[in-house]
Chains A and B, each alone.
Chain A
Amino acid sequence: MRPSISVQTPSSIRLKGSIHARLTAGVAALLVFLAGCGATGGSSPSPTPAPVSTPATTAPATSTATATVAPTVTPVVMATPALTATPEPAAAFPMTVTDDEGTAVEIAQQPERIVSLAPSNTEIVFALGAGERLVAGTDADDYPAEAAALPDAVLQTKVLKEQIAALRPDLILAYGNGFTPPADVTQLRALGYPVLVVYASSLVTAEKDITLIGTALGAPTEAAAILEEVHAQFDAIEAVVPATAPRPRTFYEVGYGPGIYTPSADSAYAEMITLAGGDPITTDASFTISLEALVEADPEVILLGDAAYGVCPDQVAGRDGWQTMTAVKDDAIRPAFDTVVTRPGPRLPLGLASLVRGIHPEVTLPAGIPPDPVLCAAP
């Protein structure tokens, strides 16, 4: 009998931890619209949007060009809706950008030593053609292949500040909503590094973030091109689901262990499922749903976001109490490619495609969209 909570509390966490360990993701990976930690089946799809080819355009002459117009103006705030993909003039440094937490971040010169603290940021930087300017990423980076070879500035979701300092970064791309611990962001800023906190709470902000990172890297034109491509792909994929098609009630399983985890109503998951022609079954910000509520909601389609972590349709069908669900009776339990569904970046169209495959298997996706990787062992 040790009348202390210091034992009690971690054990209650360990209870939760077991789910997360199973998901091989950090606690928040379930909850943040990002996840993307951990490998997904190995066979990653071929790069559809903006393959890494063009090195970023440096613009040495811009300072004189802009100086005549407005010497003190700092091009700021990329609130421009991403749809207007007007190429902007090459960025002038120093510049001040406002990150997703509303912090004004000054970037002295074109970043050449970038540290990414989230897989989604890494992907965006590579897609912008600035992959060679990344000096460190995370241990969860799995796309593109070169990203995995980068030194890790994040290990097991812990930010390695010594490693970061040793690399003398001139831009750090953190992730919000607690994914990069706020205390670490504060400390890195106190050490004098420009830290941009990116957080895509919705599809609109996911788009905005590509523009934001593009601006900060001095590659706004590339960002606009990516968005144009992403929009075209979204439109093409949405178009294959007829407007008249039924919208099946869709349960997206984020995680299952003790407790059932599903997206909250205001998450980007829900947006994506709606775009894919489904009617998402959602919950509140706790991301948990009771079995009762799920049975009552009676999903017609069950998508397994946790398929990459070894959850397969036959297991789901065998769960106690699940047999009453229409999706189980109809055998409409399908794996989903969670990494691209949840990772806000240039591969979101692949996520949408994966959802459409799961929700409307009857439709044919546009040509050129690679199949999902094998997500769990074939039945």
Chain B
Amino acid sequence: MTAGLAPELARVRVRRFEALRRRPVALVVAGLVILAASIGAAVVLGNVSLPLGDTLAVLGHRAFGWPATVTWPSSTETIVLELRLPRALAAAAVGTGLAVAGVTFQGLLRNPLADPYVLGTASGAALGAALAVLIPVQIAVLGLGLINLLAFAGALIAVTLVHQLSGGGRGASMTSVLLTGYAVGSLLAAGLSMAMYLAGANLRQIFFYLLGSFSTASWDQLILGIPIVLIGTVLLTLRARSLNAMLLGDDVARNLGVNVGRERTILLALASLVTAACVSLAGLIGFVGLVVPHVVRLVVGPNARLVLPLSAVYGAAFLVLADLAARMPGELPVGVITAIVGAPFFLVLLRRFRAGYEL
């Protein structure tokens, strides 16, 4: 095509997105359909190929008691119900959680580079996990091993520390929160490096954890993880108005009647809780929390009331598919897939909207 035609085309495409923007319900419904299809694909496909009929029969048998007679090998049931389904749901939960937390942190910090791990969560969780590996005790609470529990605690402690050190809700500038997060994160990262140095043969465990994976997802883990993510997502979505106001700056938000200090603390706490739950379920998975919110904003604009639920749904679908792609050939790190697939897609979108995209 000629150079002169390209802007014309781009405008047409933007107009198409404009149309989408006015139909948020359709977008959410489409997202839910895509999510359901992704989970379906994640249950049907995998490293081992199972007959489609058997897979559906296993699901039907468990859910509705039909078909009543078992005609499939017990291994099919194990693979479908104990390995694939919890794994797909874990990926969906983590995709939702990271995307929603990403929207919140980006809005709260008014920083497009913010992601769920920005305020020390990642290094806190990683250090917690590393310590769990070094401690020679084996305990499990609610199906969560020490590594999950300490990762969860580490993430929350790190954020609390950042919040307190930066003066938190008491009128601290978001720049100082961000920088405090960076400083605390670096400190914890040094602790992590030390722990890895001392880990000896256990280095592998820490290494796997840092790469992020859903390979050991189980129903037990979901019992705790899914409620935290879902409740957190709903509560954050209900506070979308505050988030919108704060995007305009603290003074404007105050004039709009938002209690900035209080709302900021609540949003931060919710987003951190959701992030910590995600991190304890799957380790560190980059890119999802950073980019899914931006992609959604590029399509529907910055209104948090739309961006939050849409990010939740599309983040979930994206991570379910990424995890499927990661485990089809064996066990690739899912973070590699999210970046390989997501980054070019994001770049294409960015180019199209080069002019005038602001957070």
Chain A residues engaging chain B, CB cutoff 8 angstroms: 1-10, 12-13, 16, 26-28, 31-32, 155-163, 165-168, 177-179, 181-184, 186-187, 190-191, 264, 285-287
| Known A-B contacts A28-B204, A31-B201; A6 and B73 likewise in contact (beta carbons under 8 Å) | no
A10–B211 CA distance with the chains assembled, in angstroms? 7
B330 & A158 in contact (Cβ 8 Å cutoff): yes
Interface string of B47-58 (1 = CB under 8 A from A): 110100000000
Q: How many Å from the CB of A255 to the closest CB on chain B?
A: 13
- Interface residue B208 (Cβ < 8 Å from any Cβ of A): yes
Q: 8 extra interchain contacts, Cβ-Cβ under 8 A, other than A8-B189, A160-B330, A285-B201?
A: A4-B115, A5-B120, A6-B122, A7-B286, A16-B203, A31-B203, A158-B215, A165-B78
Question: Which of A162, A168, A264 has the most CB atoms of chain B within a 10 A radius of its CB?
Answer: A162
- Interface residue B218 (Cβ < 8 Å from any Cβ of A): yes
| Known A-B contacts A9-B189, A156-B330; A1 and B113 likewise in contact (beta carbons under 8 Å) | yes
Question: Which of A5, A27, A177 has the most CB atoms of chain B within a 10 A radius of its CB?
Answer: A5
* Contact partners of B202 in chain A: CB under 8 A: 177-178
B211 & A6 in contact (Cβ 8 Å cutoff): no
- Interface residue B64 (Cβ < 8 Å from any Cβ of A): no
* Contact partners of B118 in chain A: CB under 8 A: 3-4
Q: How many Å from the CB of A106 to the closest CB on chain B?
A: 18
A286 & B198 in contact (Cβ 8 Å cutoff): yes
Closest 7 CB pairs of A and B: A158-B331, A3-B182, A5-B123, A183-B216, A28-B204, A155-B330, A285-B200
Chain B residues engaging chain A, CB cutoff 8 angstroms: 46-48, 50, 73-75, 78-79, 82-84, 113, 115, 117-118, 120, 122-123, 126, 133, 138, 140, 145, 147, 178-179, 181-182, 185-186, 188-189, 192-193, 196-198, 200-205, 207-208, 210-211, 215-216, 218, 220, 284, 286, 327, 330-331, 335
A9–B178 CA distance with the chains assembled, in angstroms? 19
Of A5, A6, A187, the residue contacting B216 (CB under 8 A) is A187
Q: Would you mind naming 20 contact pairs between A and B with Cβ atoms under 8 Å apart? A: A1-B113, A2-B113, A5-B122, A5-B126, A5-B185, A6-B117, A9-B189, A159-B331, A160-B331, A162-B46, A162-B83, A165-B78, A166-B48, A166-B50, A178-B201, A179-B204, A187-B218, A285-B200, A286-B198, A287-B200
| Known A-B contacts A12-B193, A158-B330; A6 and B113 likewise in contact (beta carbons under 8 Å) | no
* Contact partners of A186 in chain B: CB under 8 A: 140, 145, 216
A160–B83 CA distance with the chains assembled, in angstroms? 11
* Contact partners of B181 in chain A: CB under 8 A: 3
Q: Which residue of B lies closest to A158 (CB)?
A: B331
A26–B201 CA distance with the chains assembled, in angstroms? 11
Q: How many Å from the CB of B343 to the closest CB on chain A?
A: 13
B204 & A184 in contact (Cβ 8 Å cutoff): no
A183 & B147 in contact (Cβ 8 Å cutoff): yes
* Contact partners of B335 in chain A: CB under 8 A: 10
Q: Which residue of B lies closest to A169 (CB)?
A: B75
* Contact partners of B192 in chain A: CB under 8 A: 5, 9
Of B73, B138, B197, the residue contacting A168 (CB under 8 A) is B73
Q: How many Å from the CB of B188 to the closest CB on chain A?
A: 7
A157–B82 CA distance with the chains assembled, in angstroms? 22
Q: How many Å from the CB of B114 to the closest CB on chain A?
A: 8
Q: Which residue of A lies closest to B147 (CB)?
A: A183
A9 & B210 in contact (Cβ 8 Å cutoff): yes
Q: How many Å from the CB of A233 to the closest CB on chain B?
A: 28
| Known A-B contacts A4-B122, A27-B207; A162 and B178 likewise in contact (beta carbons under 8 Å) | no
A177–B74 CA distance with the chains assembled, in angstroms? 31
A165–B215 CA distance with the chains assembled, in angstroms? 14
B78 & A6 in contact (Cβ 8 Å cutoff): no
A167–B75 CA distance with the chains assembled, in angstroms? 7
A2–B126 CA distance with the chains assembled, in angstroms? 17
Q: Which residue of B lies closest to A177 (CB)?
A: B201
A27–B207 CA distance with the chains assembled, in angstroms? 8
B200 & A286 in contact (Cβ 8 Å cutoff): yes
* Contact partners of A167 in chain B: CB under 8 A: 75
* Contact partners of B207 in chain A: CB under 8 A: 13, 27
* Contact partners of A157 in chain B: CB under 8 A: 204
A178 & B205 in contact (Cβ 8 Å cutoff): yes
A2–B197 CA distance with the chains assembled, in angstroms? 25
* Contact partners of B82 in chain A: CB under 8 A: 165, 191
